[in-house]
Structure 1
Amino acid sequence: MSKYIPGNQKHLSLEDRVFIENSLNQGLSFKEIAKYLCKDPTTISKEVKARRASDWYHKGTFYNAKNFCVHRYSCRKVNVCDKILVCGIKCSSCPTCNQTCNVFEKEQCSRLNKAPFVCNGCSKKISHCTIAHKYTYNARFADRKYRELLSDSRSGIPITKHELRQKDQIVTPLIQQGQSPYQIAVNHPELDMSVRSIYAYIDKGLFSSRNIDLKRKPKFRPRKCHKTQITDRSVFINRTYLDFQSLGLDSFVEMDTVHSSRESKKTLLTFYFTEQKLFLAFLMNRCTKGAVRLVFEHLEKRLGTFEFISLFEYVLTDRGSEFGDPNALETGTNAIQRCSLYYCDPMRSGQKGGVENVHTMLRMVLPKGNSFEFLTQWDVNLIVNHINSTPRESLGGKTPYALALSAFGEDTLKALQLRCINPDEVNLTPKLIRFNR
């Protein structure tokens, strides 16, 4: 099943786990749960079995008070452990029965040994169940265990303490003699460490030497790392902001992305027409090159190739990794060049200030920290229509929709799924989405 599922399906989100918990409480099977979440049933089975919570002793339950033997109701044995000379207490009421009795047999439940592996959805109430070891699936507890495992798997170093001590005995004396990590890595290949690894071990305090012992490192500040930027520098050839300025354009399109909270991977791809102040937004399930290309192809299909070329002839964007394949964006489905893509300079978002400014209006409806997980394209279109129906002082009190209507025509705006909103009905608050669900 998994090969037919689009995107990265390796991890479950908190919302997925909440659905699993509710479904188990309703008595649904793993197959039914997996079908709704677009997962493999074994994924749900492994998730429940690995992250179920144990509750071996339930307060208020007399029957399973520390004695797990299946014979505890009919047992009449006394003083099996032979620890007390005079003991009149039945062994069935004593917890030591579990370790000392030769006929002890642990009570088990069939629900816990096979699917669903938990007590969720059981017809018996927990307070009346006689099974000592109970297992329940709690979504928030499971998500917390998942986060801890995710963090622990990425922490630490892949060597033993003995190996670390051997490396330290070589590196630290040489550092104190004034040698650089590069000298040490070249002269001692038995370390099996790169220069970058030696610097990292010293920085984390794993070696006896410290950063202050290095010759030059204390003089430099740590460099800023932009992991989301394009790494292939060849895409910027003839596409820099200087090349864009040489065109001397008055009308073009600015493109950017708006990210959701950490809980959701959904992203908004936004466009801004600088002359008409028209704003467009499209929901993407992932912030990837392929997702951006699909939006371009969808727009070209709805508008037609030549209408798309007239609207999106020149596009200016930032250096995000999702825009790292300009050839795929510039070339249409018919192998015709449908647009020309240009990139702003690094850390210069003001060079496409129009789209950055209209994002402030978007954030009035979708504040930062909100998840886009339950957002639909219909909701996005509603927000866009309200933004485009807001008069602008720079347009002489006209709305972007009215200006775009006279410039592009009604058919084009319908293809873009745009409509005019009554001035008294324009709403730029989170209530716009909340009340229209």
Structure 2
Amino acid sequence: MRMQKCPVYAVKFNSKCTFPRLNATLFEDVAFNLGQICNTMVIWRIGSSPAGKGRVHMNKPKTHMTLDDRIAIQEGLNNNLSVRAIAKNINKSPSTVKREIDARKCPKGIVKFNSKCTFPRLNATLFEDVAFNLGQICNTMVIWRIGSSPAGKGRVHMNKPKTHMTLDDRIAIQEGLNNNLSVRAIAKNINKSPSTVKREIDARKCPKGRRSITVLPNCANRKDCDVHGLCKDTRCYSPCRNCISCKKLCDQYVPGTCGRLEASPYVCNGCAKQSSCTYDRVFYIATFANDMYQNTLISSREGINQEPEKLQQMDRLVSPLIKKGQPISHIYNSHSEELECSRSTLYNYIDACVFSARNIDLPRKVTYKVRKSSTRPSVTDAEKEMVKNRNYEAFQKYIKENPYVPVVEMDTVVGPVHTHRVLLTLMFRNCSLMLAVLLPCKTQDYVIQALNDICDGIGIRNFQKMFPVILTDRGTEFYAPEAIECDRFGEIKTKLFYCDPQCSWQKGMLEKNHEYIRYIVTKGTPFDAYTQEDITLMINHINSVSRDSLNGHTPFRLSQYLLDSSIHEYFHLLEIPPDEVCLKPSLLKQNK
């Protein structure tokens, strides 16, 4: 292609290439072909100003500066690089970098984060980008907000989500106090602020008093006391503060307090002198604190959240209209602004006899039958979340890490639908010994009480040794893992895991052993007519049956070698002679 030349000027490019000046038509061809040759992402434009007319420019695409660019600028400034060197690193012009630094530098303060990261002060629009990107980089569950106060304007805060403290958190606090950890170390372990942990301990610590009422604590003035001769014994020359009877004879006696309770965390957990302490004791107990928390939640939502004057005003408005036969919907639509409550609240107030109008005054309510409430407890989202952390996969992982730990399978055996009594069954995998406890009802409270009774009967140490791991199904009666894992005083006694849904084969030993119970108590027979003595007799006969899986031995005989004798004494387990074993319903009928 032949081009027209212009000897006066040359065509200039940023890539330092020069061509003779061409006419306007050929500019586009040159630009396009040069772009194909260089194989670069460029934008071509023809200068429109009079001075630059007929001049072809090769420019990079104009983009906004990103957070990565700004981080590179900060790193370059921290390494004392020049503006030109920083601009070359991020492929920007030096003037662009200089304008960025001048426009967004912060001479007075910095943007502060809880994660100890600092960035130059940016404008409000870029704060959200900084917060979002840093949140993605740290991969943490955080909430970002921009300070709204005049003093904190332009300051980015990283806050943790506010959640209520759970029983697991309180158990971790108790364990930390028992190990003499500081409040700050405990707060770091459970991902809470130290002030939150301190307020939790102060608000829900449990005073336990002195170990013995007869033994008085040392006097508060003991160090400075110089009283002699209170006992009137002429042979005694030592100060009375060294005598035991001084506490009863001295009229200046003031009960002292332990110095441990005068310093943070103000509790006796972890004290090495608990067995010989004579002072008033204060402990932090996880289960006690959680019960206080639950009671506070319930009590704060009970009663009527209205002032007496407001209730009287509502009564004077609503009751006459109801007695005229007006429906609640009509009254509420006409006076919703004056009532300042929901429609369902009005029904609740009438049902609670707060107003002078009663349910009998409502034309339709007395004709409705009372809805039957389900006796089966519903499973909350929190309980489902706790079960997820104790599923069968977690059980397999724990057994792989601790292959020699004994496992106990747990389940319930129910009667007909119209009955209440059930059997709580426990089976040791290592010896196939089965235990059974007759429960009045299939609820969490009775399951927890039965396990706590066993723990109290055989001792917490024996329970921890024989029941280190319990595997059960996902019945609602077992949906209280923290309460099952801890004893009455909050000490951890076992670890609880759950089978997967519809996977009873994961605790197949116990399911198979339930067949022996059905040999004696057939399916459909209620347990209401039986006592715990009858159940113990049935279990003794079942445990006295020899098994091929035990090489011809009985579970009872094998349990004598593998389990502590306290479990046999608590459940009154006995071995039945082989020829006297009976697995028929007549066994319990003969006992009657």
TM-score (norm 1): 0.47
Which of these two proteins has the greater Rg computed from alpha carbons?
2
Bigger RCO (CA 8 Å, 6+ sep): 1
TM-score (norm 2): 0.35
